[in-house]
Structure 1
């Protein structure tokens, strides 16, 4: 009896067999490709995106209250319009990346409202970074600077939009929270400060080169420091100090800086620049050791290079400058980047940052001492301090 497999092979070797094989291949390819595309489109539908309770009970409910869901024109942007690229290559990459989200579903990473809220900031940051990297590609599928009639926008919006257009800004710079509730932006940087303070309780004052975490009371001698109270002065956030010795919970530190002639109670980091390190009583100011004097032509003032020795709580010190500036950077991004794309710290000189911070602080939820730290961070990274542009 002839082997049917051999018969098929012989048939396929013939011209007609090759034609039949090619036809079958085309049909299978078309069906497979069509099925694959159908699956791709199905997994991009609003129904699919909201089929799990994590999305349906959280972000979907927020989205339903926005103009992207319901508007006078009756045009709806669904989840995939904002979160899945239209072009084939980027869409495939995004779908592959989504496999991590499937794993999150399986492991229950955000399967309760409490878990979701604890992850909201992290999830939002990932998506903002993706949109920033693509120049808000998905937003631009519907919105275009070139097609905008700025005269029909509110004056403030028109001004900001035209500014962004000229400076190469991107949609997500200003439109965070456009379809979902904004996360608590302070959670990230306040968590960093919490870690820094915990480290300060363990190791504060052990390193000779240290920095103040927050505004700290300061005293001229150990007895007064041990007695406590409000202090004879203040050491300001991010002020660099040299630790001289420790006594119990206190550290004796030296601050090196500059005093303006006639205003010696304030010690600043550089002559002519209002980067404040400490403010002390008149009596304490007289104990400062003057090393040299200089006339600053820009301010037409005389300055004294000086050092002053003070006592302060050692728990308010850190030796990790990198972590301290990371805290400042996140505070800046979270507080100043929620509504617009902020200018980088090196864009302005140190003294100009003082006015900018004072003007804008009312638009943030920062506490008074956090504002002081933010100003110190910006000034220490300013154009005329670290050579910004």
Structure 2
């Protein structure tokens, strides 16, 4: 019995030793980059501070992607089976395929790291050992703000070891889907939402439509009154500041732009009684107006349009820091924030208009705040 116990113990130790060696082997840089599909990743990594830096400390793949605690580590190894499966399938076996999937893969990794409060980052980078005053002035400011807000490492340090994916590809794809499905989904709908800025006409144009008598802004809600050819007659309801009728907004005292128009068109609006906003002491009136616009500029898919706005916010804001939630600020304050930040993004003028409307319509002082 003693001999059996010794043999069993020896076998267990040998088995555990072999298993430990195997784990260490699969954590090595050589093992991680042995797959053909990792060639591009390895080249990107070699250009990063994690591969070569002034202090001579190198972080390999497993330092960032494999937990140190045994239980979490074993779970990560089990989950890695999907990588083997996709290698067999050839899902990312060419640079073109890899780029097509880069954004989705990056988002999954970022979400995983956010869920663990950047656990693997913190295994090397300790806040207690960090001398913030030795960082560059801009980095000091950003780091202190991030720490005060309780943000996690990956919120601001995406792309630290790999090339950043094309963040715009996600929301651009959603926009193309919305545009292609707009006619099918909005053909008989009574309520539509503008996908983009589009001219507004007092009368339905014949021939060359021209620049119009006004402009409908992105995400504006309209009521359908009539359809004729490529145009739709709509009713737009909102608020105007008393004496400033050329600009209609979505809510009283909140500059969520719905429609700008000429004086002649503004004079055809139906106006309600003036109401004083207690915060600004300005007078506002309910307003409604009818006119024509191109059907192709609208969709009935409000949820899809909201998803598009959220994806754009994630791409534009989440690339540099933790994505802000629309319900964090009141509607009017978002105008200044977006104006200040837009030059640091790749957004065009029309993108900025939609992003501003998205944040404002979901602001903390709107009925659907936080959604």
Would you say same fold, with TM above 0.5?
A: yes
Given the alignment of the two structures, is residue 30 of structure 1 paired with residue 16 of structure 2, yes or no? Answer: no
Query: What are the within-5 Å matches in structure 2 for residues 85-104 of structure 1?
Result: 85-104=67-86
Query: What are the within-5 Å matches in structure 2 for residues 189-208 of structure 1?
Result: 189-208=171-190
Q: Is the 8 A contact 1:361 1:371 kept in 2?
A: yes
Q: Is the 8 A contact 2:250 2:257 kept in 1?
A: yes
Q: 1:344 aligns with which of 301, 304, 325?
A: 325
Give distance in 2, aligned partners of 1:67 and 1:370: 33
Given the alignment of the two structures, is residue 73 of structure 1 paired with residue 73 of structure 2, yes or no? Answer: no
> Deviations along 1:45-92, whole A, 9 cap, x unmatched?
000001111102x11001101111112222110000001111101111
Given the alignment of the two structures, is residue 39 of structure 1 paired with residue 17 of structure 2, yes or no? Answer: no
Q: 2:288 aligns with which of 289, 304, 307?
A: 307
Q: Is the 8 A contact 1:203 1:315 kept in 2?
A: no
Offset at residue 312 of structure 1 (A): 0.6
Q: 1:170 aligns with which of 152, 170, 174?
A: 152
Q: Is the 8 A contact 1:382 1:388 kept in 2?
A: yes
Q: SS at the partner of 1:279? A: strand
Unmatched runs of 5 consecutive residues or more in structure 1: 1-17
Moved over 4 A (4+): none
Query: What are the within-5 Å matches in structure 2 for residues 100-249 of structure 1?
Result: 100-222=82-204, 224=205, 227-249=208-230
Give distance in 2, aligned partners of 1:328 and 1:205: 23
> Deviations along 1:175-215, whole A, 9 cap, x unmatched?
00001100000000111111000011333352111100000
Superposition CA RMSD, Å: 1.3
**Matched residue, 2:344:** 363
Give distance in 2, aligned partners of 1:24 and 1:47: 35
Give distance in 2, aligned partners of 1:124 and 1:296: 46
**Matched residue, 2:364:** 383
TM-score normalized by structure 1?
A: 0.93
Query: What are the within-5 Å matches in structure 2 for residues 306-345 of structure 1?
Result: 306-345=287-326
Give distance in 2, aligned partners of 1:246 and 1:387: 30
Given the alignment of the two structures, is residue 19 of structure 1 paired with residue 2 of structure 2, yes or no? Answer: yes
Give distance in 1, aligned partners of 2:102 and 2:325: 26
Q: Is the 8 A contact 1:196 1:318 kept in 2?
A: yes
Q: SS at the partner of 1:228? A: coil
Q: Is the 8 A contact 2:238 2:287 kept in 1?
A: yes
Give distance in 2, aligned partners of 1:82 and 1:261: 58
Q: 2:65 aligns with which of 69, 74, 83?
A: 83
Q: 1:53 aligns with which of 29, 36, 47?
A: 36
Query: What are the within-5 Å matches in structure 2 for residues 232-271 of structure 1?
Result: 232-271=213-252
Q: SS at the partner of 1:305? A: strand
Q: Is the 8 A contact 2:334 2:359 kept in 1?
A: yes
Unmatched runs of 5 consecutive residues or more in structure 2: none
> Deviations along 1:209-239, whole A, 9 cap, x unmatched?
11000001110112x2654111111110000
Q: Is the 8 A contact 2:158 2:320 kept in 1?
A: yes
Offset at residue 293 of structure 1 (A): 2.4
Offset at residue 380 of structure 1 (A): 0.5
Offset at residue 323 of structure 1 (A): 1.0
TM-score normalized by structure 2?
A: 0.97
Give distance in 1, aligned partners of 2:129 and 2:145: 15
> Deviations along 1:317-340, whole A, 9 cap, x unmatched?
111111111111111111011111
User: How many equivalent residue pairs?
Assistant: 370
